[in-house]
Amino acid sequence: MMKEKGYKYLFGPIPSRRLGRSLGVNLVPHKICSYDCLYCEVGATTATTTERKNYILPDKIIDEIKDFINSGVKIDVITLTGAGEPTLNSSIGKLISSIKKLTNIPVAVLTNGSLLWSNRVKKALLEADIVIPSVDSVDEKDFYKVDRPDKKIELKTILSGIKEFSYIYQGRLWLEVLIVEGINDSDFSICNLGRWASTLKAQKLQLGTIIRPPASEANPVSYERLEEIAAILKDYLNYPVEIIGDFEGKSEQKKVSAELLVKSCKMRPLTKEDIIEIYGKSDNLDRMVIELIKEGKLKKRNFGNKRFYTG
């Protein structure tokens, strides 16, 4: 049974709808990002930026990853993501290379794609096993309304950069699209997205909507609407369209600290079912959640027909 440690840069493993059991890695402080997306489950961006620098040195992260791997806890993927845009860390390429030398566990990068116009960023991500850039709309009005980017960012530059990267990258490129009701969900917007996405060299498009409490007022579309949108996109693409569902894995029960639980809920709002999935069901876990709520370290928040716990 694993002894939980207070990792500074790692969180989870958490159930990922896309990747399975994912060990999350923070590359930037909370919440340094080039976007301030309406739907972000991590919360509002304090100040948008496009400045790349060594926000966190890779050696410090590698030390924690080594320790976690030695613990023997099963994970499916090491995911560079976290509390902001990971490509803002100028050492991301060095970190990916170091992880690849350390383990055969796949490395994934979740990115909003805003910096893929940069040749340095393209080169930095080439060693990753999976890169998942997000593009929620190719229409400027919808893009600025949903993603609320830094003022230095231009949509056409982003789209060009992602397309160029798709042709030089040899790993698995999955395009992510998140649909928000009343903003980027029209047939017109989806058709334009399909035309652009058809020019990419990608393995699949992952389509989703809001399932966790968002940073700002925003609503999900229905599953039926996602199916309609998927059907439209399939008419344009020569690669699959996948509607992202809830994680359905099984995990072994293990001991968990209150500190780790609060940190996981801060990084991603979790339902009771999520918490059980990660840590296993036990009376101790139930009591811990109750006590953390009483202490104000965890909060309950309802979204849709689910109750989430946030840090």
Angle made by CA atoms 286, 31, 256, in degrees to the nearest 5: 25
DSSP classification of residue 105: S
Please tell me the predicted confidence (pLDDT) of residue 288: 78
Q: DSSP assignment of 29-68, as one string?
A: -TTEESB--TT-TT---SEE----B-SS-HHHHHHHHHHH
Strand partners, 15: 21
Tens of pLDDT along the chain (311 residues) come to 334 457 888 987 887 777 888 899 999 988 789 998 888 877 788 778 999 999 888 899 999 999 988 888 889 999 998 788 999 999 999 999 999 999 999 999 999 999 999 999 999 999 999 999 999 999 999 999 999 999 999 999 999 999 999 999 999 999 999 999 999 999 999 999 999 999 999 999 999 998 777 667 888 888 899 999 999 999 999 999 999 865 444 444 445 667 777 777 776 788 777 777 666 666 677 777 877 888 888 887 777 777 787 76
User: For domain 10-249, which CATH number applies: 1.10.1740.10, 3.40.50.720, 3.30.40.10, 3.20.20.70?
Assistant: 3.20.20.70
Please tell me the predicted confidence (pLDDT) of residue 310: 79
161: phi then psi, degrees, rounded to nearest 5: -65, -40
Please tell me the predicted confidence (pLDDT) of residue 73: 83
DSSP classification of residue 106: -
Please tell me the predicted confidence (pLDDT) of residue 311: 66
37: nearest Cα among 206, 217, 230 = 217
Give the predicted TM-score (pTM) of the model.
0.78
List CB contacts of 24: < 8 A, sequence separation 6 or more: 10, 11, 12, 13, 14, 79, 81, 82, 267
Q: Boundaries of CATH 3.20.20.70 in the chain?
A: 10-249
User: For domain 253-311, which CATH number applies: 3.30.70.240, 1.20.120.1760, 1.10.10.10, 2.130.10.10?
Assistant: 1.10.10.10
Please tell me the predicted confidence (pLDDT) of residue 246: 53
264: nearest Cα among 254, 274, 273 = 274
Q: Boundaries of CATH 1.10.10.10 in the chain?
A: 253-311
What torsion do the CA atoms of 18, 19, 23, 27 make, to the nearest 10 degrees?
Answer: -60
